[in-house]
């Protein structure tokens, strides 16, 4: 029997972090403060992007029956790989749990994290991370079994609530209970699978996480209609892409890949028409597709990077419709800024 | 423990040698090598340390233990001490430590009892009893503990919900929320009575020691039980009665979603305890069996020939000898139980590992978090080892 069993993997992760940090050659050699390694060059010379994704969340990141990773977050890994290599398949996926995702990024095990991770001040400042772009605006909610007869989160007084540790979810839950004077019993299980099965088995009255996560879990149940997502949203969860702090160049590539997907949607550039826009009269479209302006090389990418990305992945709306619409998630706050949403790309200029 | 007295005639001082400052002198060479090795190790440690600190700084990862005094905001399901999410990380970690100790201590006691019973049963002359214990030992030791824990947890989760809870005895409820038991409305009188019981136990122990010492002198057996009854029975009851004999029970009852009142044995704690005890008992049974078998048959026969009855033979002759074989491997089983309790994370029992994991995730201070976990297990393990070594030395053969 391994003494530390399950947590062994995480201890390894932390040990790996310890070792990478303890050994020289990483930063000592390059004395400049911004020298937390150059991920962009490292990825290029490796010929592959290593992307941290969820362990399995329907619609966001999940391997299909052939073992091919699919989902909204997975498309971001593919998009960044296409931006750098022109090939969406040059990605290795590393599944990360709520608990081990940050150490995975800090230790260099992954280059970028596309994994429903909330951007918060403390994570941004003290974890050695940066959050280049919010790819999904979300909030926390509750799900109960329809049979319980509960219609509002305010009725949850005295309830037992399943929650995953190492998340903003657990902290929001205690905040919410405190400010609403609700007493609850938590059931805190580290592995998402075990947690969800505890909820399904009736160990808890309610399961709480990001509403997108609730929708994903609900859609994966044999009878989704047996579960009800309560109307209250108790927090802001800007789910953002993550990179290591102090690596501005790579962060730029990740950030502008997201903006590319947004701008493409805004200007009607789609997977189907992106290579037929050579004569489009709109200057911004000309700049996006690299006919004009030399924007790609400013990012250290090829002139036609955007064409390749949109061709391979599609625009933001297409990605959304492909993966999130089927599990019942509406655009809501993730609509374009000119459609009443929060998704906004700065100009390609 | 044995004090060997050396015949003074055999003691001779070694010849004095002059210390020569030369490589040829063995002692000088020894010192030089040791200084060198310590120096090299020290330099490596210092170098790794300063690199780590530097790299953490470059990567803007927070360091230090300052986070311990910050508000944790973590929900914790069960705690031995008072805890609320507004408490500090230090408090949350203490809660985790106490949860680890709780399951380890109860687990050690129960698995020792169960293991001893099964170990002795395996030596039984009753064929069925012996075979059943043998099968138990073989099966339980062959299945991975994690699997067993998940198995018990799943079983406990498949109990009916709180509204359909089973009620084996009035006031006791068994559901997928755990076992709810009525509990005393705890007051000072109860704490003081408990203290009196402890005092009584100490008094009894001293009395018994004295009685035995006198018996060795005059051969007169003395009765101990009247004193024991008085000190450990009557005294606490008197204390409790003098303080008004408070006796109100706190009954669990279903209100809304859940039970209120009483005490709860959570499914998480129970599954972990059950898994650890059943698993470890399988190993302890084998240790006990081996220990008893290690006592030569002749000891049994000789003791019986002296006219001791079987109970006395076991207690006075066989067990003291068997214990010498049993204690050392038992120590490692106790260490195993403690370390295996960290599998708690898999089934949502919030032990030190679970809470430290969450803490290091929320604060990003992985190195500090892992250091805390290691320190805790090291301290517990060393304490167990020290205690068991002391006990082992106490019962070791005193050779004369
Ligand atoms: N957005 C929250 C929660 C993210 C999160 O980890 N959610 C859970 C539940 S949907 C999850 O994806 N867990 C997957 C896993 O740990 O394997 C955060 O960043 O802390």
- What is the arithmetic mean of pLDDT over B32-49? 92
- What is the spatial distance between Cα B6 and Cα B1, in angstroms, rounded to a whole number? 15
Give domain status of residue A58, yes or no. yes
* Residue with CA at minimum distance from ligand 1 atom 11: A98
- What is the arithmetic mean of pLDDT over A32-60? 85
Q: Are residues A181 and A167 in the same domain?
A: yes
Q: Give how far A207 is from chain B: nearest CA, Å.
A: 14
Q: State residue A34 phi and psi, 5-degree precision.
A: -85, 20
**pLDDT of the residue at B20:** 74
Least CB–CB distance from B343: residue in A6, A160, A197: A6
- What is the arithmetic mean of pLDDT over A63-77? 96
Residue to mutate, A213, A220, A234, ligand 1, most ligand atoms under 8 Å from C-beta: A213
Q: Are residues A133 and A157 in the same domain?
A: no
Beta-bridge partners for A227: A145
Residue to mutate, A193, A210, A235, ligand 1, most ligand atoms under 8 Å from C-beta: A210
- What is the arithmetic mean of pLDDT over B298-320? 86
- What is the spatial distance between Cα B263 and Cα B156, in angstroms, rounded to a whole number? 17
The CA-based angle A337-A341-A342, given to 5 degrees, is: 75
Per-residue pLDDT tens digits for A280-331: 999 999 999 999 889 999 999 999 999 999 999 999 999 999 999 999 999 9
Give domain status of residue A346, yes or no. no
Touching A: B residues 265-284, CB under 8 Å: 267-268
* Residue at which a domain ends, from A206, A237, A268: A237
Q: Check whether A5 has a pLDDT greater than 60.
A: no
Which of B347, B348, B371 should be substituted to probe chain A, the one whose Cβ sees the most A Cβ atoms within 10 Å?
Answer: B348
* Residue A100 neighbours by CB under 8 Å, 6+ apart: A9, A10, A13
Q: Are residues A167 and A311 in the same domain?
A: no
Residue identified by tokens 């809660």 is B95
Give domain status of residue A3, yes or no. no
Give domain status of residue A11, yes or no. no
Q: Are residues A176 and A232 in the same domain?
A: yes
Give domain status of residue A181, yes or no. yes
**pLDDT of the residue at A33:** 38
Number of cross-chain residue pairs from A and B with Cβ atoms under 8 Å apart: 192
**pLDDT of the residue at B259:** 83
Q: Are residues A69 and A208 in the same domain?
A: no
* A159: CATH: 3.40.190.10
Residues in chain A: 349
Give domain status of residue A116, yes or no. yes
Task: Categorize the per-residue pLDDT at A20 as very low, low, confident or very high, splitting at 50, 70 and 90.
Answer: low
Neighbours of B188 (CB within 10 A): 10
- What is the arithmetic mean of pLDDT over B219-223? 83
> Is A12 near chain B, with CB under 8 Å?
no
- With H, G, I as helix, E, B as strand and everything else as coil, classify residue A176: helix
Least CB–CB distance from B176: residue in A103, A170, A201: A201
Per-residue pLDDT tens digits for B104-142: 999 999 999 999 999 989 988 899 999 999 999 999 999
Touching B: A residues 224-243, CB under 8 Å: none
Q: Are residues A261 and A131 in the same domain?
A: yes
**pLDDT of the residue at B170:** 86
Give domain status of residue A279, yes or no. yes
Q: Check whether A9 has a pLDDT greater than 80.
A: no
Tell whether the torsion through CA atoms of B180, B182, B185 and B189 is positive or negative: negative
Residues of B in contact with A245 (CB under 8 A): 59-60
Neighbours of B221 (CB within 10 A): 10
Query: Which has the minimum average pLDDT: A66-80, A229-243, B148-162, B239-253?
Result: B239-253
Q: Are residues A68 and A158 in the same domain?
A: no
Q: Are residues A324 and A269 in the same domain?
A: yes
Residue to mutate, A13, A71, A72, A98, ligand 1, most ligand atoms under 8 Å from C-beta: A98
Task: Using the mean position of ligand 1's atoms as its centre, give its distance from the Cα of residue A159 in Å.
Answer: 22
The DSSP H or E segment spanning B113 is helix B89-122
Let me know: does A310 contact A270? Beta carbons within 8 Å: yes
Give domain status of residue A13, yes or no. no
Q: Are residues A246 and A131 in the same domain?
A: yes
Task: Using the mean position of ligand 1's atoms as its centre, give its distance from the Cα of residue B152 in Å.
Answer: 26
Task: Using the mean position of ligand 1's atoms as its centre, give its distance from the Cα of residue A38 in Å.
Answer: 28
Pocket of ligand 1 (CB under 6 A): A 54-55, 57, 97-98, 116-118, 164, 167-169, 192, 209-210, 213, 237, 239
Measuring CA to CA, which residue among B156, B292, B139 is closest to residue A198? Answer: B156
- B348/A198 touch (CB, cutoff 8 Å), yes or no: yes
Touching A: B residues 85-104, CB under 8 Å: 85-86
Q: Give how far B231 is from chain A: nearest CA, Å.
A: 42
- What is the spatial distance between Cα B352 and Cα B98, in angstroms, rounded to a whole number? 8
What total number of domains does chain A contain? 2
Six token digits for residue A88:
């969406």
* Residue A319 neighbours by CB under 8 Å, 6+ apart: A72, A75, A261, A313
Measuring CA to CA, which residue among A44, A40, A80, A49 is closest to residue A305? Answer: A80
Q: Are residues A258 and A226 in the same domain?
A: no
Least CB–CB distance from A11: residue in B260, B339, B370: B370
Q: Are residues A94 and A205 in the same domain?
A: no
Q: Which domain holds residue A207?
A: 139-237
* Residue at which a domain ends, from A187, A209, A237: A237
Q: Are residues A84 and A127 in the same domain?
A: yes
Q: Check whether A31 has a pLDDT greater than 70.
A: no
């Amino acid at each position: 029997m391994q003494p530390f069993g399950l947590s062994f993997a995480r201890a390894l992760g932390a040990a790996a972090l310890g070792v990478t940090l303890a050994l020289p050659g990483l930063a000592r050699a390059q004395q400049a403060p911004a020298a937390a390694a150059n991920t962009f060059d490292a990825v290029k010379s490796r010929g592959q992007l290593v992307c941290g994704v969820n362990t399995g969340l329907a619609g966001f990141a999940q391997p299909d029956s052939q073992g091919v990773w699919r989902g909204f977050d997975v498309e971001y890994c593919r998009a960044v790989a296409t931006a750098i290599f022109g090939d969406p398949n040059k990605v290795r996926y590393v599944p990360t749990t709520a608990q081990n995702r940050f150490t995975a990024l800090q230790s260099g095990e992954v280059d970028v994290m596309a994994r429903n991770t909330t951007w918060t001040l403390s994570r941004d400042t003290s974890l050695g991370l940066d959050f280049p772009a919010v790819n999904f605006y979300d909030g926390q909610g509750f799900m109960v079994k329809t049979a319980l007869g509960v219609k509002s989160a305010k009725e949850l007084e005295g309830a037992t609530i399943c929650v995953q540790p190492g998340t903003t979810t657990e902290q929001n839950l205690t905040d919410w209970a405190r400010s609403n004077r609700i007493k609850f019993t938590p059931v805190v299980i580290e592995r998402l699978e075990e947690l969800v099965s505890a909820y399904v088995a009736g160990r808890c009255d309610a399961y709480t996480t990001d509403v997108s996560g609730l929708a994903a879990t609900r859609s994966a149940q044999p009878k989704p209609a047996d579960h009800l997502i309560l109307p209250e949203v108790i927090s802001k969860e800007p789910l953002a892409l993550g990179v290591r702090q102090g690596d501005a160049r790579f962060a730029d590539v990740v950030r502008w890949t997201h903006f590319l997907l947004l701008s493409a949607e805004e200007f009607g550039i789609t997977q189907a028409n992106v290579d037929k826009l050579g004569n489009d009269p709109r200057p911004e479209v000309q700049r996006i597709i690299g006919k004009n302006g030399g924007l790609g090389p400013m990012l250290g990418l090829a002139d036609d990077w955007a064409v390749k990305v949109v061709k391979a992945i599609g625009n933001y709306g297409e990605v959304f419709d492909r993966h999130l619409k089927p599990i019942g998630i509406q655009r809501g706050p993730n609509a374009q800024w000119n459609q009443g949403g929060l998704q906004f790309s700065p100009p390609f200029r | 423990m044995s004090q060997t007295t050396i015949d003074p005639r055999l003691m001779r001082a070694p010849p004095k040698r002059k210390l020569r400052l030369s490589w040829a002198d063995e002692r000088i060479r020894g010192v030089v090598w040791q200084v060198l090795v310590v120096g090299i190790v020290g330099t490596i440690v210092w170098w790794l340390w300063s690199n780590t600190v530097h790299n953490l700084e470059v990567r803007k990862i927070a360091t230090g233990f300052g986070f311990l005094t910050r508000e944790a905001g973590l929900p914790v399901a069960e705690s031995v001490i008072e805890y609320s999410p507004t408490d500090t990380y230090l408090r949350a970690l203490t809660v985790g430590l106490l949860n680890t100790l709780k399951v380890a201590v109860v687990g050690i006691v129960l698995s020792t009892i169960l293991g001893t019973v099964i170990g002795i049963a395996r030596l039984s002359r009753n064929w069925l009893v012996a075979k059943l214990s043998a099968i138990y030992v073989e099966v339980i030791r062959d299945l991975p503990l994690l699997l067993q824990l998940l198995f018990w947890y799943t079983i406990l989760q498949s109990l009916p919900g709180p509204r359909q809870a089973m009620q084996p005895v009035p006031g006791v409820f068994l559901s997928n929320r755990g076992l709810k038991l009525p509990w005393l409305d705890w007051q000072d009188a109860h704490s003081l009575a408990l203290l009196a019981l402890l005092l009584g136990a100490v008094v009894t122990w001293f009395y018994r020691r004295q009685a035995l010492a006198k018996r060795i002198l005059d051969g007169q057996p003395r009765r101990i039980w009247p004193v024991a009854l008085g000190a450990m029975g009557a005294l606490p009851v008197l204390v409790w009665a003098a303080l008004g004999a408070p006796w109100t029970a706190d009954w669990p009852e279903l209100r809304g979603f859940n039970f209120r009142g009483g005490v709860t044995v959570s499914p998480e704690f129970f599954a972990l305890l059950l898994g650890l005890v059943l698993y470890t008992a399988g190993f302890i049974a084998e240790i006990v069996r081996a220990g008893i078998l290690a006592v030569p048959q002749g000891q049994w026969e000789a003791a019986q020939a002296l006219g001791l009855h079987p109970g006395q033979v076991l207690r006075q002759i066989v067990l003291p000898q068997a214990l010498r074989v049993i204690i050392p491997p038992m120590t490692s089983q106790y260490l195993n139980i403690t370390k295996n309790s960290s599998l708690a994370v898999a089934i949502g029992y919030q032990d030190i590992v679970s809470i430290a994991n969450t803490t290091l995730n929320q604060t990003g201070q992985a190195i500090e978090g892992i250091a805390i976990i290691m320190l805790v297990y090291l301290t517990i393990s060393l304490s167990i080892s020290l205690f068991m070594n002391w006990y082992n030395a106490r019962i070791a053969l005193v050779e004369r």
